[in-house]
Amino acid sequence: MKRVSMVALLITLGFATSVFADTPGTMRVDYFHSGNNTTEMFSLDQVVVEPLPWTGNMSQPIDKTSRGKYLFEIVDPESGGIAWSRSFSSIYGEWETTGESRRINRSFHESVRFPAQESVFELVMKKRGPGNEFIEVWRIELDPSDVLVHRESAMFAEHVVAIHTSGDPATKVDLLLMGDGYTAAEQEAFVAKAQELTDILFSTSPFKERMDDFNVWAVAPPAAESGVSRPSTGTFRDSPIGATYDAFRSERYVLTFDNKAMRRIASSTPYDFIEILTNTEVYGGGGIYGLFSTAAANSEWAPYLFVHEFGHHFAGLADEYYTSSVMYEAPTEITEPYEPNVTALLDPENLKWKHHVSPDTPLPTSWPKEKFEEHSIAYQEIRRQMRADNVPEEEMNKLFRDTKEYVEALFDESGKKGVVGAFEGGNYQAKGYYRSAQNCLMFTRTEAFCAVCAEAIEKVIDEYTVQE
Per-domain residue ranges of the chain: 23-151, 157-319, 342-451
**What's the pLDDT at 330?**
80
**Does 272 score more than 50 pLDDT?**
yes
Q: What is the pLDDT confidence band of residue 326, given thresholds at 50, 70 and 90?
A: confident
CA distance to 10, 64, 193, per residue, from 152 (Å): 18, 30, 29
**What's the pLDDT at 327?**
72
Digit-coded pLDDT (tens) for 283-316: 999 999 999 999 999 999 999 999 999 999 999 9
Report the alpha-carbon distance of residue 362 to residue 277 in Å, rounded: 41
Average pLDDT for 161-176: 97
**What's the pLDDT at 20?**
41
- Answer yes or no: same fold for 23-151 and 157-319: no
CA distance to 85, 127, 143, 261, 396, per residue, from 46 (Å): 19, 22, 11, 14, 44
Report the alpha-carbon distance of residue 47 to residue 312 in Å, rounded: 27
Task: Kindly list the strands in the beta sheet with 285-288, ordered across the sheet, starting from the edge strand earlier in the chain.
Answer: 161-164, 214-219, 173-180, 273-278, 292-296, 285-288
Q: Does the predicted TM-score (pTM) go above 0.85?
A: yes
Report the alpha-carbon distance of residue 269 to residue 154 in Å, rounded: 8
Q: For residues 449 and 311, is the Cβ–Cβ distance under 8 A?
A: yes
Task: Find residue 309's DSSP bridge partners.
Answer: none
Buried b (16+ CB within 10 A) or exposed e, 210-221: bbebbbbbbbbb
**Does 468 score more than 90 pLDDT?**
no
Report the alpha-carbon distance of residue 301 to residue 285 in Å, rounded: 10
Report the alpha-carbon distance of residue 253 to residue 276 in Å, rounded: 13
Digit-coded pLDDT (tens) for 385-435: 999 999 999 999 999 999 999 999 999 999 999 999 999 999 999 999 999
Higher pLDDT, 468 or 462: 462
Residue 249 DSSP symbol: G
Write the CB contacts of 381 (distance below 8 Å, at least 6 apart in sequence).
Answer: none
Report the percent of the chain where pLDDT is more than 70.
95
Q: Which CATH number fits domain 157-319: 3.10.580.10, 3.50.50.60, 3.40.390.10, 2.60.120.1090?
A: 3.40.390.10
**What's the pLDDT at 9?**
59
**Does 136 score more than 50 pLDDT?**
yes
For 245, phi and psi rounded to 5 degrees? Answer: -70, 175
Q: What is the pLDDT confidence band of residue 21, given thresholds at 50, 70 and 90?
A: very low
**Does 12 score more than 80 pLDDT?**
no
**What's the pLDDT at 16?**
47
Report the alpha-carbon distance of residue 250 to residue 59 in Å, rounded: 40
**Does 2 score more than 50 pLDDT?**
no
- The SS3 call for residue 296 is strand
**Maximal C-alpha separation, the chain:** 67
Q: What is the dihedral of CA 96, 345, 418, 372, to 10 degrees?
A: 60
Average pLDDT for 246-259: 97
Q: State the average pLDDT for the chain.
A: 94
**What's the pLDDT at 351?**
97
Q: SS3 breakdown of the chain: % helix, strand, coil, rounded to 5?
A: 30, 25, 45
Nearest to 116 by CA among 148, 84, 89: 84
23-151: CATH homologous superfamily? Answer: Peptidase M64, N-terminal domain (2.60.40.3250)
- The SS3 call for residue 331 is coil
Length of the chain: 468
Q: For residues 55 and 119, is the Cβ–Cβ distance under 8 A?
A: no
**What's the pLDDT at 6?**
56
Digit-coded pLDDT (tens) for 52-108: 999 999 999 999 999 999 999 999 999 999 999 999 999 999 999 999 999 999 999
Report the alpha-carbon distance of residue 306 to residue 285 in Å, rounded: 8
Helix 187-201 and helix 302-315, axial crossing angle in degrees, nearest 10 = 70
- The SS3 call for residue 27 is strand
